Amino acid sequence: MASARIDLPANFRPLQIYEQVSEKIRAEIQAGRYLPESRLPSERELATLFGVGRPAVREAIGALQNEGLVVTRRNSGTYVSENAPEVLARLATPSAIADAGLQVDYSPSATLDVRLILEPAIARRAAAHRKRDALAEHYLAQMETLTDVADAEERALWNNSDRLFHRQLAVMTGDALLAKLAQEIAETMDQSLWKRLKDDGIYDPARIRLYVAEHRLIYEAIVTGDGDAAAFYVEQHIHRVQRDIAPA
C-alpha cells in the first residue's frame, strides 16, 4: 500500500532552536504567565526550563527585543515590554513574521560554528599568495578609527567594516567559490539579530580595541605568508566572539 503524500507549504522550513525558544517565551507572555513590565527568569533558568543551551536563549531574547516584546537592562535582566499586548496583537508568531514578509535571521551561534570551520582554511589559502590588499586595509583602517562605541554611527561603521574585512580575506584567496561563501556569511552578519547580540555583548571600548588588534594580527600573518599563524589567529578571534555574544 502506497504511503500518503504530505504536501508542505511552499515556504516551509524547520524552525531554528532559538525560534522555538522565542515562540515558547512568546506563548508564556500571551498566556499571562509573564506580565508586562515583569522580569523574565535568567538566561540560565530559561535554558534549564526549555532544555536548551544559553546561546539559544540569548538569541531568542535578542529576537524578542527586535520585535519590541521585551527589553533588556544591563546588570538588571530582561523585562516584558509595557506594550506587550499590542505587540502580540500585531505580530504573534514566527509564522506570522514570515507571512508579513519579514526576514527570519540565521542563528548567530550557528553562523559562528560555520565560520570556525571555514575561516581558518580561508586564512591559510590567502596566506599562500602573500599579497597585500587595499580593500582589506581600508576596512582595518576604518575599524581603527573607532573612538566612541556608544555612538550609533560609529557602531554601525564598526559592524560593517568587521564583516566586510572577513569577506575580503576570502577574496584574497583568489577562489570564486570561497568568496561567494564568505559573501553569504557576511550577509548573515548584517542581520538584525547578529547586530543586536554583537552590540549587547561587545560594548566596552577596550574590548573593541582588542578585536581590532586581532584583525591586524590575522591580516599581517596572511600578507607575510604565515598560514599557520593566520589560521590560529582567526580561530582564537572567533572563539572570543563566541564567548562574548553567545556564551555557553
For residue 116, give its domain range. 108-245
* CATH of residue 33: 1.10.10.10
Tens digit of each residue's pLDDT (9 = 90 or more) over 112-147: 999 999 999 999 999 999 999 999 999 999 999 988
Between CA 42 and CA 76 the distance in angstroms is 10
171 close to 179: Cβ distance less than 8 angstroms: yes
134 and 226 part of one domain: yes
123 and 240 part of one domain: yes
112 and 87 part of one domain: no
User: Of 71, 99, 127, which residue is a domain's last?
Assistant: 99
Q: What pLDDT sits at residue 43?
A: 93
80 and 127 part of one domain: no
Q: Is the confidence at residue 12, as pLDDT, over 70? A: no
Tens digit of each residue's pLDDT (9 = 90 or more) over 194-221: 999 998 888 888 888 999 999 999 999 9
Mean pLDDT on 69-89: 92
Residue 2 counted as domain residue: no
82 and 128 part of one domain: no
User: Of 67, 99, 131, which residue is a domain's last?
Assistant: 99
More confident residue, 130 or 149: 130
65 and 152 part of one domain: no
Q: What pLDDT sits at residue 93?
A: 54
Mean pLDDT on 2-15: 61
Q: What pLDDT sits at residue 101?
A: 44
Mean pLDDT on 172-176: 98
Q: What pLDDT sits at residue 148?
A: 82
Q: Is the confidence at residue 8, as pLDDT, over 60? A: no
Between CA 81 and CA 65 the distance in angstroms is 9
88 and 200 part of one domain: no
Number of domains in the chain: 2
60 and 122 part of one domain: no
Residue 1 counted as domain residue: no
Question: Taking Cα atoms as reference points, which of 130, 216, 230 lies closest to residue 173?
Answer: 130
